[in-house]
Structure 1
Amino acid sequence: MVHGFTKTVDLKINVVSDEIYFFGQPEESAGKVLQGTVLLTLTETIKVKRLTLDFKGKMKVQWTEGPQHTHKQERSIIQHEWILLPSQNNKRPHIVPAGQHSWDFTLTLPGDLPPTLQAEMGKVCYQLTANLERSGGFLLHNTIQRKKPIRVVRSVLPSEFELVQSLEIHNTWSEKMIYDISLPSKLYAHNAIIPVSFTILPIANKLRVHAIMVTLKECCTYEANDKRKTDSRIIKINRQENPFSQAVVNHDGMPSTPWTRVLDVQVPARSPMIFCDANSDMIRIRHKLKFVISIVNADGHFSELRATLPIVIMDSFGPTISAASAEALTLPTYDESWRSLPYDRHLWDTLRQQNGSTHTDLMDSRQPVTISSFTRTMTLTSSMVPCHRLENTTMDSDLEDETVTPHNEANDENWWHGVDLSRVPSYHSMMDMDPTVPTCTQLPPAYDPIWQRCFSSS
C-alpha cells in the first residue's frame, strides 16, 4: 500500500517463476518464456495517467585504482516494455474503479543471456519494474513503483560429457615416484565436496611423502572501456601432513602396494564466498585446483611437485528431474539383465502372426511362462502359444535345463538354427544355449555366392 494514495492502491508483480533456467552453452541453449501478471487492487476509484511494465537486464563492471581513478562501464543486455494503460492523446486520465485488475504478460528470453552474477567488481542482474502514474500534480506521491528481480541460471545438458567425466593426472616424477591424481568430475555446484584421490608409488629407495595439499583458486577478469583487471584469490585449502605414515614397506624400503589418500575440498555454499563460472565480454570467472606433493628424499632434502586441473563451479544443476525421467535416462546395469525375457525365435514369430488378437483378449488371458528357470507373466492367449511349448513350464529354480521345449530343428533348413540375427540374445539365453548346437562353425554364406545366385536366377 502507498500512504500518498490514502492507502487505496496495492500494486504487485506476480510471475510464474522468478528463476529462469537455461541448459547448455549460450550458442546452443533454447529460449525460455517469462510470464506473469501485474495485479492492481484498489479500495476506491482513482485516476491513472499511465501504467507500464518493463524488463531490463544489465551488466556492470567497476573498480578503483589509486585514490581517485575509477574504471566503470555499464551495458544493457535486454530491455522490453509493456504499455498496460497508455497515456491518452487528450491528456484525460484513465478512470479505474475500485476492485482488482490484472494484466498478463509474456516475454521470450533468448538462450544466450548471461546468468545472474554478483561478483566483487561486477554484476549481471535482471529485473521487472511496474510504474503507475496517477493523474494530478498536487499529490505527494503521484507515482508508485514495484520491482521484481528475476534470476537467470545456466545449467548443463546431459550430453556435455566432458564436464561430468573424470579427470586424471598420471605421470612419473624424474625417477622418484609414479603418481596419479584424479577427480570424479569437472563440474561442481555450491556446497559440493570435491574428493581428490592421490595414488603414489615410490621408485627411489627410502623416499617419504612429507605432505600433500589441494588448493581451490578463483580467477576473476574484468574489462571496462578497454581496461582490464584480474583478481585471484584462494577459496579453500586442505593439507595433510605425513599422509602415508601408516604405509607398509618391504625390507628394502620399497612399498608392496601403491599409497592412496583422498583429500576432500568443500565448495562454499553461496556467494560471495565463491562466484560461479562466467564467460562474457566484460566478466570472466574461472576456477582451478592446484595440487602439491612434498617429498623427503633419501639424503634428507625436500622436493615439491605441483600440478593444476581446471574445474567448473555452477550455481546448481537445474530443477530436480523426476524419478521416472531419471530412470528413463539411465541404462540398466548388467546385474539387471535377468529382468529381460530370454529370446526365443519361434515364440516371437508366433506373436507376430497373431495380428487378429484384440487388447481385451490379451488382458483376459495371462499365463506364466518359465524360460531358463525365470518365470515371467506374459499377456498371451493359449491360441498364441503352441501346446507342446507349454509343457513343463514350471520347474524348481535350481534346475538348469531349458524349460520350454525347443523348436523342432529337423524341419528347419535355415543355416542359423533358429536364431533371429536381427535381435541380440539376452545374457541368460546365451548361457543356456545347447552346447551341441554349432554356433561358429556354420557361418552365413559369403556375399559372392549370394550375388551370383541372384543374378543367375534372373
Structure 2
Amino acid sequence: MGLDDFKIIFDNPWSTYYPGQTVTGRVVIKINSAKKIRGINCKIKGEANTCWATDRQEQNHEGRYENESQTVTGHEEYFNMQYYLLGSANASEMELPPGEHVYPFTFSLPHSLPSSFEHDYGHIRYTVKAIIDRPWKFDQETKAAFSIVANLDLNCEGRAMEPLHQELSKTFCCLCCGSAPLRVNVTMPVRGYVPGQAMSIRVNVDNQSGVIIEVVKLILRKIVTFKANNPRICSRREKIVIAEVSKGPVEAGGTSDYEQTLDIPALPPSNLTNCGLIDLEYNLKVEAVAQGWWHRNLKGNNLVFIGTVPLANYQSSIIPPVNKIDQQKGNDYQDKLADPTYGGYPSGYPAFTNTTDGSYPSVPPTAPPPPLDNNTGNPTTQPSLNIYPNMPPPSYEEAGWAVRSLRENNENFHVIGNNNHFAPRYPVYKFSS
C-alpha cells in the first residue's frame, strides 16, 4: 500500500485529560495512489495490566521440591469503544483518492478513571487506534497513547494539611553495655505537596552515642503494590526512589540542626483508587547511617501525599508556565508557548486573565471545577472547591518512567506508533520565590 503517512493527532497539545472530559483529535492519512478500502475504524480503550515472573517450589513426581518459574498476570478494563470514521464493517468497497485525508474523532471519558501509570511490572494505559479496513488484505493500523490525570485536591485530604513531626531514637551496643541514645527529630509544615513544589524539612540530630553518624539521608519514595490474579492471586511491592538529599557527618557526642529541601518532579497523584491492580503511595524515609558495618542504621518512614491541586494556605504563590510545549515532530502545536490564553490546557480550570501590563498576577491556588455531565450539562458530583480565587494553570510534564513500546500481547508487530516513546504527563506548578 502506498502509505506515506498515517498518524493520530490530539487537539490537546499535551494529550492529557481529566476523567469526564471529551477527547478530540484527527486521524491523518496520506497516500500516493488511489486505494480500495472498506472504511476507517477508530478504537479507544482504557485498561490496567500487570505481569511478572515468580519463583515457587513445586513437588515433582518423586516427591522432591523443585524451583519453578511462573508468570502471573492481572487485567482490568475501564472502557472499550469503537466506531467507524468512514464507512462501516459491512460497507461496500470504496476508493480513497491519493493525497492527504483528515478524519476527526471525538469521545467522552468516563468520570471514574485512575491516573495513567507506567512501570515494568504493570501499567494503567489509555490509547487510540485507527485502522484502515482493507478488503482481502491486511489492515493498516496506527496507535497513540494519551494521559489521564485523576484530580486530587490536597485541600480535600485532611491528612495532607497536617504537619509532620517524627522523633527517632536508638542506642548502640558495645559488648554488654548500651550507648547513650542517638536522637533524630524531623519536622515538616505539611504532608501534602504538588509537583513543582519543594519539601522543606527541618532536621535536628543529637548524637550522644559513641558512634559517628556518617550521613543523615532524606529520601522521597514511591511505594507501588502490584496485584495479579491469574493463574493465582499474588502481589509484589516495589520501592522507587524519587529524590534524595543527605548531610553529614555528625561526630560522636555532637549535634546538628539544619534545613534541607526535596524538589518534587512530575509524578502521578496518590489516588489510584479506581484501579484494583496497582496501589500507589509516597513516603519520606529518614535514615541515619552509622559508621561500622556492625551497627544498624536508625530508620523511619512517614506518609506524604502528592496531589494535583496545592494547599491554599501553604507556600508561595503560583505563576504561569512559560516553557514551550514539548511535542513530537509534526504536531501542529510544536512551536506554541504554554500560555494561559491559548486553549490547549486540559479543561476544568477557571478562566485566567493576565494583567494590563502583560505581567501575570500572583494569586493563591484554586481547585478546578467538576466536569459537566454530558447528558444534563450540569456539574457532576465530583468534589470541588470553588471558594478560592483563580490560579494560573500548571504545565504538563512527562514523568521519569517512560515505556519503549505500546505493543500488546497478540498485537500485530507492524502497528505504526507502537515503538514510539511514551511517558504519561502530570501537572507541574511553578511557584514564586
Q: TM-score range by the shorter chain?
A: 0.5 to 0.7
Residue of structure 1 equivalent to 2:374 = none
> Which whole-Å CA distance do the structure 1 matches of 2:139 and 2:17 have between them?
33
Q: Aligned with 1:156: secondary structure?
A: coil
Q: Aligned with 1:111: secondary structure?
A: coil
Q: Aligned with 1:233: secondary structure?
A: strand
Residue of structure 2 equivalent to 1:212 = 216
Give CA-to-partner distance per residue, 1:295-328, whole Å, 9 cap, x none: 99xxxxx997643211234699899575758645
Residue of structure 1 equivalent to 2:284 = 289
Describe how 1:365-444 pairs up with structure 2 within 5 A. Answer: none
Residue of structure 1 equivalent to 2:107 = 107
> Which whole-Å CA distance do the structure 2 matches of 1:117 and 1:35 have between them?
22
> Which whole-Å CA distance do the structure 1 matches of 2:211 and 2:133 have between them?
76
CA RMSD of aligned residues (A): 4.4
Residue of structure 2 equivalent to 1:160 = 156
> Which whole-Å CA distance do the structure 2 matches of 1:284 and 1:55 have between them?
24
> Which whole-Å CA distance do the structure 1 matches of 2:353 and 2:184 have between them?
39
Q: Aligned with 1:154: secondary structure?
A: coil
Distance change in 2, residues 1:11/1:213 (3 Å):
closer
Q: Aligned with 2:120: secondary structure?
A: coil
Distance change in 2, residues 1:289/1:330 (3 Å):
closer
Matched, 1:309 2:302: yes
Residue of structure 1 equivalent to 2:248 = 241
Give CA-to-partner distance per residue, 1:105-163, whole Å, 9 cap, x none: 2211123211111113111111111111234x3xxx64221112112223433633647
> Which whole-Å CA distance do the structure 2 matches of 1:143 and 1:330 have between them?
49
Distance change in 2, residues 1:128/1:49 (3 Å):
same
Match of 1:34 among 23, 27, 50: 23
Give CA-to-partner distance per residue, 1:344-370, whole Å, 9 cap, x none: xxxxxxxxxxxxxxxxxxxxxxxxxxx
Larger radius of gyration: 1
How far has the Cα of 1:76 moved from its partner?
Answer: 1.9
Distance change in 2, residues 1:133/1:207 (3 Å):
same
Residue of structure 2 equivalent to 1:16 = 11
Residue of structure 2 equivalent to 1:196 = 201
Q: Contact (CA 8 Å) 1:207, 1:295: kept in 2 or not?
A: no
**TM-score normalized by the length of structure 1:** 0.52
Residue of structure 2 equivalent to 1:120 = 120
Distance change in 2, residues 1:85/1:172 (3 Å):
closer
Give 2:111's aligned amino acid: G
Distance change in 2, residues 1:35/1:130 (3 Å):
same
Distance change in 2, residues 1:209/1:160 (3 Å):
farther
Residue of structure 2 equivalent to 1:83 = 84
Distance change in 2, residues 1:105/1:169 (3 Å):
same
Q: Contact (CA 8 Å) 1:50, 1:133: kept in 2 or not?
A: yes
> Which whole-Å CA distance do the structure 2 matches of 1:157 and 1:191 have between them?
15
Q: Contact (CA 8 Å) 1:20, 1:32: kept in 2 or not?
A: no
> Which whole-Å CA distance do the structure 2 matches of 1:330 and 1:85 have between them?
44
Identity %: 15
Give CA-to-partner distance per residue, 1:424-456, whole Å, 9 cap, x none: xxxxxxxxxxxxxxxxxxxxxxxxxxxxxxxxx
Residue of structure 2 equivalent to 1:261 = 258
> Which whole-Å CA distance do the structure 2 matches of 1:315 and 1:157 have between them?
6
Residue of structure 2 equivalent to 1:46 = 35
Q: Contact (CA 8 Å) 2:218, 2:287: kept in 1 or not?
A: yes
Give 2:217's aligned amino acid: M
> Which whole-Å CA distance do the structure 2 matches of 1:224 and 1:304 have between them?
34
Structure 2 stretches lacking a partner, 5+ long:
56-67, 171-179, 311-317, 322-339, 341-351, 355-359, 367-433
Q: Aligned with 1:147: secondary structure?
A: strand
**TM-score normalized by the length of structure 2:** 0.55
How far has the Cα of 1:62 moved from its partner?
Answer: 0.7
Distance change in 2, residues 1:330/1:196 (3 Å):
closer
Give 1:70's aligned amino acid: T
> Which whole-Å CA distance do the structure 1 matches of 2:189 and 2:362 have between them?
22
> Which whole-Å CA distance do the structure 2 matches of 1:326 and 1:65 have between them?
55
Q: Contact (CA 8 Å) 1:190, 1:316: kept in 2 or not?
A: no
How far has the Cα of 1:167 moved from its partner?
Answer: 2.7
Give CA-to-partner distance per residue, 1:35-59, whole Å, 9 cap, x none: 1122334444332212111111121
Residue of structure 2 equivalent to 1:224 = 228
How many matched pairs? 294
